[in-house]
Structure 1
Amino acid sequence: MIALLPPLIVAASACVSTACFAETIYVSNERGDSVSVIDAATLKSLDTWKIGARPRGIVLSRDGRFLFVCVGNDHAVQMIDRATGKVVADLPSGEDPEQLFPSRDGKVLFVANEDNAAVTAIDIATRSVAFQVPVGKEPEGVAQSPDGRSLVVTSEDDNAVSWIDLPSRKVIATIETEQRPRHVEFTADGKQLWIAAETGGVVQVVDTANHAVIETLHFAPPGVKDYQVLPCGIRFTPDGKTAVIALGRANMVALVDVATRKVRAYVPVGKRVWHLAISADGARAYTANGVSDDVTVVDLGAARAVGTIAAGAGPWGVVIAP
């Protein structure tokens, strides 16, 4: 472990029973055209499901029954029954879907289409396109605000984020970012939006009330060159106190105190960490490591890696189900 400050105190980390980790981890393998299924209690692989070509973004349906996975080379979102591991539908997503977000009410999937500069809303019940909204070039990250009224979509090529008013289905604001914004994440109260600008090497914090950047977070992991710091995935712990940020070719995640926006620790993980997920109790993070073809288990209380699990070729996204 490489830490700047003493380890974070997370009450859930005191749990020693495997019952605390009775969850299932699903990992999309971009080069393997598959989803790895991992038991969080034993940290063992349970299965590998073959799916469409170039899977990246992966989410769980709000009712927990299905996984939705962007299969970019097939220009679709595949709907997978968790009980059987079978693809039950190919949903129309637009060209080259990369990331997606299930609406707060569970009725719609919002999908960023990298090749046709749009975000597509898919009606899950009818398995059809509900509407599309044009955005900037090479959209990737997408997220809905906690109040359900807004959708934000990153544009990698334009170095911008589009702010969409969902009732009117129109872009109401566009904010400039540092280079190649890859991921966006709202705080639970909806007051801030955190943007990972990959090539810019920073995370920008936006005040959602006025769409203004209020702070830019820089990272300096010991022994890592600046060009290797490529922020991508961001997740907040359930208590909202810590942001866990994947730093790409730095092969580390940063643990950031949300209140002070200061880095509390850097934790070494596998090679080329893309995205991550956090357990429901906030005790662990699981990282998808795209070059080392594995998942690192991070104890957030101790701020250290406690395990490595083999995945498929090119792990990209991670989601956790109870």
Structure 2
Amino acid sequence: MTTDPNRRLILMTVKENVSLTVLNAANGNTIAVIEVGTHDTGKPHELAISIEGTRGFVSLYGSADYGHNVPDNRIAVVDLTNMTLAGHIDLNLYKGPHALVVDRAGKLWATVDHNNCVLVINPDTHKIENTIWLQTPGHFLATTPNGKTLYVSSKEYPVITEIDIETRSVTARIPIPVGAQAIRVSNDGSRLFVGDFCRPLLHVIDCGAQTLVSTHKLTGVPGWPFISPDGKMIAVTTFDETKAKGFVELLDADNPDNRRVVEVADEPFHVLFSDDGKHLHAALANGEVPRIKLATAAITDGGYHAGGTMPEAIVAYNPSIGNGP
């Protein structure tokens, strides 16, 4: 198939189908299901778009979501102009790729849990240009809006690692109490929002001071924080494992204790804000992708389905300009 340049798309990684699944953003209909991994051994997790917008990179983490895992060593490359698998980046002895970021020079950065490193990869040659030693198994990445700094969280290890993207060197190791899930930088670049590893808490780090400055209660243990387009809201996907209940928690970015909670049908993973910031879609473990109206903090019409269970990443893709918002 040839991608219609005028049709806005939704790209989702779906573990059950080991796929990058493509949906029509207007109605949620499935356009393509591209098998990128290997059933039971190479499940897709995170997604990044190339700088020119014609390729999607999908990390194949391994056999499990985390913990006991037989790691894969590949990153799938999808041709977004015709929605086909173009091949794989072979990481050789580097295993467990997870978080992915494309920097302003077009280089692909990837965490590799198994090796306690972040890799810098040339996406054209598929060659590893740099290996940055973290000392811990980095799992999540976040970049500052100016593209100069990268932060890495390391799950159960109580540290956030700061990396200078230009020099490709570690510039700070910021201690945190217990460890961290996903992280996100505020739109003005001043704060890093950090989901606690195993407690219902959200931490805030002052990026300039390189120190934790506040901690805020949540209903469930956090997975991922996301920032609204205007920077005023943090949406945190959380899960209470003891009660098997999932939540999308909506926090005021300037006062995170001001919080509204939306219960959802299963564990939530990534969310995607609408361009106008009035709604978001949340990818749930059961494959549902409900639409939440932010003004009322309630599920509303306009949800869709990922076409399989365990969707993780969800990204808007505009073929005419080559990337999502």
- Paired letter, 1:302: T
TM-aligned CA deviation for residue 106 of structure 1 = 4.8
1:179–1:197: 8 Å Cα contact kept in structure 2? yes
- Paired letter, 2:265: G
Aligned counterparts, 1:1-322, within 5 A: 23-52=8-37, 53-73=42-62, 74-93=72-91, 94-103=94-103, 105-220=104-219, 229-249=220-240, 250-290=245-285, 292-306=286-300, 307-311=302-306, 312-322=308-318
TM-aligned CA deviation for residue 87 of structure 1 = 1.6
Q: Distance in 1 between matches of 2:120 and 2:169?
A: 13
Residues 316 and 136 of structure 1, relative CA distance in 2, 3 Å threshold: farther
Residues 60 and 296 of structure 1, relative CA distance in 2, 3 Å threshold: farther
2:270–2:313: 8 Å Cα contact kept in structure 1? yes
Q: Distance in 1 between matches of 2:278 and 2:30?
A: 20
**TM-score, with normalisation over the residues of structure 2?**
0.84
1:92–1:129: 8 Å Cα contact kept in structure 2? no
Secondary structure of residue in 1 paired with 2:52 = coil
TM-aligned CA deviation for residue 231 of structure 1 = 0.5
Secondary structure of residue in 2 paired with 1:262 = coil
Report the RMSD for the aligned CA atoms in angstroms.
2.0
- Paired letter, 1:70: S
Q: Distance in 1 between matches of 2:260 and 2:124?
A: 43
Residues 23 and 106 of structure 1, relative CA distance in 2, 3 Å threshold: farther
Secondary structure of residue in 2 paired with 1:72 = strand
Q: Distance in 1 between matches of 2:248 and 2:197?
A: 14
Ranges in structure 1 where 5+ consecutive residues have no aligned partner: 1-21, 221-228
TM-aligned CA deviation for residue 293 of structure 1 = 2.2
Q: Distance in 2 between matches of 1:118 and 1:205?
A: 24
1:197–1:230: 8 Å Cα contact kept in structure 2? yes
Residues 150 and 92 of structure 1, relative CA distance in 2, 3 Å threshold: farther
TM-aligned CA deviation for residue 210 of structure 1 = 1.1
Deviations 1:192-245 (A, max 9, x none): 11111231321111101111111112113xxxxxxxx12011111111111111
Larger mean CA deviation between 113-122 and 60-69 belongs to: 60-69
TM-aligned CA deviation for residue 164 of structure 1 = 1.4
- Paired letter, 1:314: M
Q: Number of matched residues?
A: 292
TM-aligned CA deviation for residue 133 of structure 1 = 0.4
Ranges in structure 2 where 5+ consecutive residues have no aligned partner: 1-6, 63-71, 319-325
Q: Distance in 1 between matches of 2:296 and 2:26?
A: 18
2:181–2:197: 8 Å Cα contact kept in structure 1? yes
Q: Distance in 1 between matches of 2:105 and 2:167?
A: 19
TM-aligned CA deviation for residue 252 of structure 1 = 1.0
Q: Distance in 1 between matches of 2:287 and 2:179?
A: 24
- Paired letter, 2:79: D
Q: Distance in 2 between matches of 1:298 and 1:61?
A: 29
**TM-score, with normalisation over the residues of structure 1?**
0.84
TM-aligned CA deviation for residue 302 of structure 1 = 3.1
- Paired letter, 1:91: I
- Aligned twin of 1:19: none
Deviations 1:247-271 (A, max 9, x none): 1344111111112223331112231
Secondary structure of residue in 2 paired with 1:120 = strand
1:180–1:200: 8 Å Cα contact kept in structure 2? no
- Aligned twin of 1:5: none
1:78–1:90: 8 Å Cα contact kept in structure 2? yes
Q: Distance in 1 between matches of 2:178 and 2:282?
A: 23
Residues 263 and 201 of structure 1, relative CA distance in 2, 3 Å threshold: same
TM-aligned CA deviation for residue 299 of structure 1 = 2.1
Q: Give the structure, 1 or 2, with the largest relative contact order (CA under 8 Å, sep 6 or more).
A: 1
- Paired letter, 1:317: A
TM-aligned CA deviation for residue 298 of structure 1 = 1.6
